[in-house]
Amino acid sequence: MKVALSQLNYHIGNFESNASKIISTIKKAESEGVDLVVFSELSVCGYSPIDLLEQHDLILKCERTLNEIAKNCVNIGAIVGAPVINPSPKGKKLFNAACLLANGTVVEKRYKSLLPTYDIFDEYRYFEPNDSYNIIEYKGEKIALTICEDLWAKQPSAYVGAKGALYKTSPMDELIKQNPDYIINIAASPFSYNQGKVRTQVLVDNAKKYNLPVLYVNQIGANTEIIFDGDSMVVNSKGAIVERLKAFSEDYISVDTQELIASEKTESKELEYNHIEGIKSALILGINDYFGKMGFKSATLGLSGGIDSAVVVALAAEALGKDNVRVLLMPSKYSSDHSISDAEELANNLGIKHEIVPIQPIVDTFEQSLAAQFKGLDIDVTEENIQARTRGVLMMALSNKFGNILMNTSNKSEAAVGYSTLYGDMNGGLSVLGDVYKTDVFRLARHINKDQEIIPENSIVKPPSAELRPDQKDSDSLPDYDLLDAILFQYIEQKLSASEIIAQGYDEATVNKVLRLVNMNEYKRFQTPPILRVSSKAFGFGRRMPLVAKY
């Protein structure tokens, strides 16, 4: 049998667009003599609709759309992901289903058994887990049809937070008893910079354990914070990746299942991007889809001459086009001359519109207006925040007047320790670097400059500074970023306690200070814009912490 894998970018709730893409691919596959074309998890509605799944009308639209797609499957079969109604009066109202379409109708449905409830996933909130296991037969071939997490019953030890066997049951342990010819797994597996290796290992381990080929179809695209990188693949029974679709791009391939079953290859096709290239590609896709799927076209941000805003504007220009990005340079009396010149040089390198609006007259007016209230009090962080909030007001005014979406430029290190100002530099409709540690921001800048200097060298090498007081440096308040990020990674991604981090050799006072800053600034992060997720543990709904805890 000839089976095609279709890796597409879906839009949540946009049934017309999603169906059009699916039907177009079905017709393409049919014209090429394909017998069965496979699409990803919840492809009809997009992953994940979250609480839209509680809207009965959405489920009815899913059902109607699925039936419309099925009408195009008369001489070809298709496997499509969709939520379907649980016919039983007991349990959750929905199943997460993989539907086999053939003969112009929906002929088979298989339901997801393992429903993840960790990190960004909350599937048990909506779906009933499957507890009956049956392969499907199509054109004489026996298929173990599974959905994403169904192959993750046992996870590699390298997976952050995994303890091995996360579930009491393994769907494949049941399906293998029915002697399938191969496994098809439809997925919605989000990107993180370590996910590709882990995901590959899971698929390879399953192929080897069950001595079966695995045809794996993921999706690409971004739905607000969550970014899907695709990287669909075909693994033979020896655990070798014999076909691999592109990362961060729609793609399509077809394979002959009999040739796959007979394959003895042992050499795998590897990923073509590295750690930083993966982050960059994910962020560009995240920006592009956030704007495109929301119906926005243009972006704005404040350009300071520092590395964070430099990286964001470079990514925005690549994602949206230089004509759709405009920036403000907003110097104060503390801004160095090189900050202004570095920002202008970057804007010129990118060919984007830029204007200079000094904030000092506005800041002076604020301070004069508050002079009576502040009389006799020392200058402190209040005056620094007035500067940041002045810039925030100007940027939001530009956003309102011209319909530009303000892009937030704070990085993960700053967000972690509260080194940012509410209603100032925390403003924005989308946080681009909120899941990127400062040390990786530097690496991103170098990567952006790999072919030619776009970001001025001075923006990369000068000591980071908010420039809100004379001769200010980030290191005045924080440990050096190499040390800070190492501690933050152990606490946030690895979920280690202070004592466990100190036991690794880190200074006790420094660790306690950093963790105290992380814990006490949860209320700030609760008010941040959506953060593009590129790590295994991003701030946002994947990391849920109480605001008023004393811990």
Q: Is the pLDDT of residue 59 over 70?
A: yes
Q: Quickly state the pLDDT bin for 160 (edges 50, 70, 90).
A: very low
In the prediction, which pLDDT does 476 show? 76
The encoded tokens of residue 36 equal 């069965």
The residue annotated as part of the active site, out of 2, 21, 112, 280, is 112
pLDDT for residue 156: 67
Residue pair 179/217 in contact (Cβ under 8 Å)? The answer is no
Q: CA 326 → CA 266, 323, 464, distances in Å? A: 51, 8, 23
Cβ-contact 523, 497 below 8 angstroms = no
Residue 16 has pLDDT above 60, yes or no: yes
Measuring CA to CA, how many Å separate 448 from each of 97, 317, 409, 456, 542? Answer: 41, 12, 16, 11, 28
- Only one residue has tokens 């509260």, namely 418
| 152: pLDDT strictly greater than 60 | yes
Task: Decide if 189 contacts 208 (C-beta within 8 A).
Answer: no
Q: In what order do the strands lie in the sheet with 94-102?
A: 105-111, 94-102, 77-85, 36-38, 2-7, 251-256
| Domain 278-474 bears CATH identifier 3.40.50.620 | yes
Contact 434, 528 (CB under 8 A): yes
**In the structure, how many helices (H) and strands (E) does the chain have?**
18, 19
Give the pLDDT of residue 475.
Answer: 74
The domain over range 2-265 is classified in CATH as 3.60.110.10: yes
Q: Averaged over 50-75, what is the pLDDT?
A: 97
Per-residue pLDDT band at 243 (split at 50, 70, 90): very high
Average pLDDT over residues 429-434: 97
| 154 has catalytic annotation | no
- pLDDT, tens only, 178-198: 999 999 999 999 999 988 889
99 is annotated as an active-site residue: no
Count Cα atoms within 13 angstroms, Cβ side, for 28: 15
Tell me what the mean pLDDT of segment 43-50 comes to.
96
* Strands 430-431 and 220-223, bridge-based pairing: unpaired
CA distances (Å), 138 to each of 1, 2, 145, 408, in order? 9, 12, 11, 50
Asked if 41 is an active-site residue, the reply is: yes
Q: What are the pLDDT digits (tens) for 70-94?
A: 999 999 999 999 999 999 999 999 9
Mean pLDDT of 217-242: 97
* 321 has pLDDT over 90: yes
249 and 230 Cβ atoms separated by less than 8 Å: yes
Contacts of 460 (CB under 8 A, 6+ apart): 307, 442, 445, 446, 449
pLDDT band at 549 (very low <50, low <70, confident <90, very high): confident
Per residue in 505-519, pLDDT (tens digit) is 999 999 999 999 999
Strands 141-147 and 136-138: antiparallel
* CA atoms of 302 and 313, how far apart (whole Å): 9
The span from the first CA to the last CA of the chain, in angstroms, equals 58
Domains 2-265 and 278-474 in one fold: no
User: How far apart are alpha carbons 209 and 266 in whole angstroms?
Assistant: 15
Provide the 8-state DSSP code for 149. Answer: G
Q: Which two tokens stand for residue 309?
A: 């805003």
**DSSP structure string for 375-422:** TTPPP-HHHHHHHHHHHHHHHHHHHHHHTPEEEE---HHHHHHT-S-T
Residues 6+ apart with CB under 8 A from 37: 3, 4, 5, 6, 25, 26, 29, 76, 77, 78, 79
Classify residue 412 as exposed, middle or buried by CB count within 10 Å of its CB (0-12, 13-18, 19+).
buried
Q: Which of 41, 108, 414, 493 is catalytic?
A: 41
Whole-number pLDDT of residue 143: 98
CB 200 within 8 A of CB 234: no
Report yes or no: 201 and 156 within 8 Å, Cβ to Cβ.
yes
Side-by-side strand order, sheet with 182-186: 136-138, 141-147, 182-186, 214-217, 233-235, 241-244
Q: Of 30, 123, 148, 318, which residue is the catalytic one?
A: 148
Mean pLDDT of 336-342: 85
Please check whether residue 36 is in contact with residue 77, taking contact to mean a CB–CB distance below 8 angstroms: yes
Mean pLDDT (whole number) for 52-60: 96
Question: What pLDDT score was predicted for residue 164?
Answer: 63
Q: Which residues lie below 8 Å from residue 33, measured CB to CB, with a gap of 6+?
A: 2
Token pair 């912490």: residue: 545
Q: Cα–Cα–Cα angle for 405, 411, 412, nearest 5°?
A: 125
pLDDT at site 541: 87
Element (H, E) at 243: strand 241-244
The structural domains of the chain, with segments of one domain joined by +, span 2-265, 278-474
- Which helix (H) or strand (E) is 233 found in, with range? strand 233-235
pLDDT, tens digit, 9 for 90 and up, residues 112-126: 999 999 999 999 999
The per-residue pLDDT for range 342-370, each reduced to its tens digit, is 999 999 999 999 999 999 999 999 999 99
Task: Tell me the torsion sign for CA atoms 19, 24, 28, 33.
Answer: positive
Cα 101 versus chain centre, distance: 30
pLDDT tens, residue by residue, 443-472: 999 999 999 999 999 999 988 777 677 777
**Nearest by Cα to 329 from 411, 410, 421, 398:** 398
What 8-state DSSP symbol labels residue 270? P
